[in-house]
Chain A
């Protein structure tokens, strides 16, 4: 029998309920408000009183309203049809809601139960299987979507029956499995999984060892993120966090992109809704939307659902990972998620940690980041979830709890700098403060040695060093004046400007410059390093300045041209002539 209860207190979306039976932490319940059922989650229990956070507005709620507990945690539905869908933080399908305004208590099914999918069996009767093993496959537009033994199945099973090739709905039984005791269990193409629990079902989780290409030079060349790796982008507002995330969502070489718009602007999501069905993925030639799932809980949607949204996104990511796919999960912004935690903690009158955030903030964040990773599946194939979150530090100050907690667990740090943004040097990723721990991984170095060239990492470090020395020189020039420093300083500074303008800066709105494949990144890095290695002699620093400005202008035109096109080659020739003239 279900546990029930009655509302005894209300503060904003925190409601206390007196219960008549057992309740579990994080258990779901529905509060009945004149026939409208409001979903809520248990976040604290004290005696017979459960505190629940309501995923909806609590306007009109009264003491005495009936509450019904569900006996399960917040779950998502996993199955074919997730791709190209637009969900809210609780996995309600936004596209199938009828009205312009979101209606309280309206929950729409995540998957279309009428749609038929072409199923091809992989397993045969008699096969021994365990959770997450592949039973069959359906084509989800282009993607081979594996139908798996539900993750919740414990122990060993034998396939008793499996349906032949044909079309089935997500609710049709496609296989019958028998457990060790001989009990039969029916399996459909959809399964449920609680979002706050990581999906297992893989053999091992090795250290990341290969790159996740994004087409953004400041990332791929300078601070690469590994497939299955984690990274975060903190930055004050107006520094281009969202532009970078969108660029990565469009360009990254992933099979599946999950975008969690967590407490951010609705118009940014609308941009994705509008652009992704039109934009083409240059690698597969398919529409971007065909590989994308959007979890959208914008800032004006209920706070508790915002907290759930990142978990919903992660769970869907893990589901596709179990199919042996490369998943990229983007969350914008994890600070809003942390703020949702803070709002609840505050209403529960918990003793606050720094900046009134809950004291366990750090462990919650690192627990979440740890769900990313590359894994070796039971069948030996690999799958991965790469996670990139943004952080919106209060006041642009990186010494705040969310940034600090995230820094402890994310392996890549892409600091967006206000100075760079102010001078329109986009992407505003600071070349000196940012880092990628993956550059230090011997596995990654090995990978680069074979994928790019021997000694690649060294080259990258050399380029980084040029920017660092350039900055030092710039500081000296500012203190001592243009004429007060040796010519060498000007050279150093301008070489770093060359690296900045040609490699680091990238026009996200230019059709060609926005995405640079690795081979082109390598080519341009070589070109820039070649120029930087030369020993130029100038009599006056003005000569040096105008020479480098000219170089930058020519090379920018190269960046705007099709790689190796006639135009590109023309500019390159012009560049070489200019350089030779000076030497």
Chain B
């Protein structure tokens, strides 16, 4: 990053905290970047001539006589076709040994799309996973996170979903990725021969946490370039947003802001919304779809991070281990895709919604039966059938290792209904029963 020759250089810091430095300077603009002792920093507060900067790499070892140089512009990314296939760091600099990215310079974290100019999302994104396609169908232009405990294979599922989805570009924003996971993604994308449509912005656990704050905006600026300028379908993967929010709380804490719930900044909702709302279906055919990961602390979704996320995103996908089958499944009760109504029965078969609802309801009946069993009560014949059904439903449809077409999922649903139940036990619209029961 080059600096303006005429920019003044300052050499006296008034205050230093773990994440910020403060100095006296004039002519500084809000949000602009600066270099503090060779580390990138951004203006977060100005009070007369006192300027506070957040230093992305942390302030360890920064002396009060550190050299501070202002750039006069906010963080930016060079965008162009040559982004394809590249691995970059939080500042948009190559980490794959390749050449520097040349291209048009764009400020990251730009304005939002006029809601009136948006198009209603209507294109289904098939993933082959029935727990998603059948029960929680994804739509292009949607934003949806996986809510998962740290020990669950969310990154693997996300990589599978990305590679199976029919999109032009996949942009990975990795925040606090373990080095192992970073290499996993790299290997997986390479093996799939998909490198040319992949762009990665990576911050690993080895790098300073505050740097992460740049990752989503970098990834989404690249996404907007391809979706808006090139009319491409872009899928953005953000993992792990919990670590992103943690970095937010570190900065706000250092700035002496009053924390709200769970020591998160009061602006957490707006901060997250600014990222997720970049998901869009544009009238010109381009789209940005965001699949994110929010790791939970022991499944606690009332924590401020998953809670605020849930109110912003269009649904959420839960992974959990089904103790009856030993497999990881997409939890049908708590998972939800809010946009599924836009494609179900419209882009899929007419029986989709009823098969979906009935399938889940019976699975719920099975869960009740299980509770009864655990409490030592006798099970009715219906309860027993539900339990058998649930095992097979979990195995053949909910499990994340399923990879089949949607029609096949629906047929499997009917086959299971028929195997264990009578039509009058299901409450499905008669016309559908007539058509599909004996297929």
Contact = CB atoms under 8 A, between A and B. Distances in A.
A470 to B, nearest CB: 15
A266 B228 contact: no
Contact of B258 (A356, A484, A542, A557): A356
Contacts of A346: 257-258, 260, 265-267
Interface string B277-308: 11110110000000000000000011110011
Nearest to B336: A238
A130 B354 CA distance: 59
Contact of A342 (B260, B277, B338): B260
25 contacts: A16-B47, A60-B30, A61-B29, A62-B27, A94-B115, A94-B116, A100-B283, A103-B111, A237-B307, A266-B113, A267-B120, A267-B279, A274-B120, A298-B273, A300-B112, A339-B269, A346-B258, A396-B302, A424-B360, A424-B364, A481-B377, A481-B378, A549-B424, A556-B427, A560-B429
Given A346-B257, A481-B378, A12 B267 contact: yes
B438 interface: no
B233 to A, nearest CB: 16
A484 B376 CA distance: 12
Nearest to B353: A509
B429 to A, nearest CB: 7
Going nearest first, the 6 A-B pairs with the smallest beta carbon separation are A395-B302, A299-B273, A300-B277, A356-B260, A237-B310, A481-B377
Nearest to B28: A62
Interface stretch (B5-13, B182-190, B205-213, B311-319): B311-319
A352 interface: yes
A250 B76 CA distance: 44
A102 B47 contact: no
A9 interface: yes
Nearest to A58: B30
B355 to A, nearest CB: 13
Interface string A71-113: 0000000000000001000000011010111111000000000
A553 B118 CA distance: 41
A267 B266 CA distance: 24
Given A59-B74, A343-B267, A102 B112 contact: yes
B46 A356 contact: no
Nearest to B47: A9
A255 interface: no
Contact of B266 (A104, A339, A397, A484): A339
Contacts of B4: none
A352 B256 CA distance: 13
A102 B114 contact: yes
B272 to A, nearest CB: 9
Contacts of B258: 346, 349, 352, 356
Nearest to B74: A59
Contacts of B303: 395
Contacts of B371: 478
Given A346-B266, A553-B427, A298 B277 contact: yes
Interface of A: 8-12, 16, 57-63, 86, 94-95, 97, 99-104, 236-238, 263, 265-267, 269-271, 273-274, 296, 298-301, 303, 333, 336, 339, 342-343, 346-347, 349, 352, 355-357, 392, 394-397, 422-424, 478, 481-484, 509, 542, 545, 549-550, 552-553, 556-557, 560
A418 to B, nearest CB: 9
Contacts of B312: 265, 299
Contact of A553 (B121, B142, B424): B424
Contacts of B228: 100
A57 B269 CA distance: 16
B357 interface: yes
Interface centre among B304, B364, B377 (most CB of A within 10 A): B377
A338 to B, nearest CB: 11
A574 to B, nearest CB: 11
Nearest to B32: A60
Given A63-B28, A94-B114, A267-B314, A423 B430 contact: no
B271 to A, nearest CB: 10
Contact of B117 (A100, A236, A355, A392): A100
Interface string B98-118: 000000000101111111111
Nearest to B43: A10
Contact of A11 (B44, B274, B341): B44
Contacts of A424: 357, 360-361, 364
A133 B39 CA distance: 66
A186 B340 CA distance: 54
A265 B314 contact: yes
Interface of B: 26-32, 44-49, 74, 107, 109-121, 141-142, 228, 257-261, 265-267, 269-270, 273-274, 277-280, 282-283, 301-304, 307-308, 310-312, 314-316, 333-334, 336, 338-339, 341, 353, 357, 360-361, 364, 371-372, 375-378, 380-382, 424-425, 427, 429-430
A274 B375 CA distance: 50
A298 B425 contact: no
Contacts of A343: 266-267, 270
Nearest to B300: A395
B141 A267 contact: yes
A464 to B, nearest CB: 24
Contact of B112 (A101, A263, A542, A557): A101
Contacts of A549: 424-425
Contact of A60 (B31, B44, B265): B31
Contacts of A102: 111-114
Contacts of A482: 372, 377-378, 380
A63 B282 contact: no
Contact of A97 (B32, B114, B119, B280): B114
Interface centre among B111, B259, B361, B382 (most CB of A within 10 A): B111
A513 to B, nearest CB: 11
Interface centre among B30, B310, B378 (most CB of A within 10 A): B30
B46 A9 contact: yes
B282 A62 contact: no
B283 to A, nearest CB: 8
A238 B430 contact: no
A62 B29 contact: yes
Contacts of A303: 267, 270
Contacts of B277: 265-266, 298-300
A60 B42 CA distance: 12
Given A62-B28, A100-B114, A394-B261, A423 B364 contact: yes
Contacts of B424: 549-550, 553
A542 B381 CA distance: 9
Contacts of B302: 394-397
Given A343-B266, A423-B364, A62 B30 contact: yes
Nearest to A261: B115
Contacts of B107: 59
A483 B112 CA distance: 61
A267 B112 contact: no
A527 to B, nearest CB: 18
A100 B430 CA distance: 46
A94 B112 CA distance: 13
A270 B267 contact: no
Contacts of A265: 277, 312, 314
Contacts of B141: 267
Nearest to B119: A270
A57 B31 CA distance: 10
Contacts of B29: 59-62
A238 B429 contact: no
A104 B118 contact: no
Contacts of A557: 429-430
Contacts of A396: 302, 307
Contacts of A478: 371-372, 375
A60 to B, nearest CB: 5
A505 B376 CA distance: 31
Contacts of A103: 111
B261 A339 contact: no
A86 B117 CA distance: 11
Given A62-B46, A346-B257, 14 more contacts: A60-B31, A61-B29, A62-B30, A86-B116, A95-B116, A99-B117, A100-B282, A100-B283, A265-B277, A266-B280, A273-B116, A273-B120, A395-B301, A478-B371
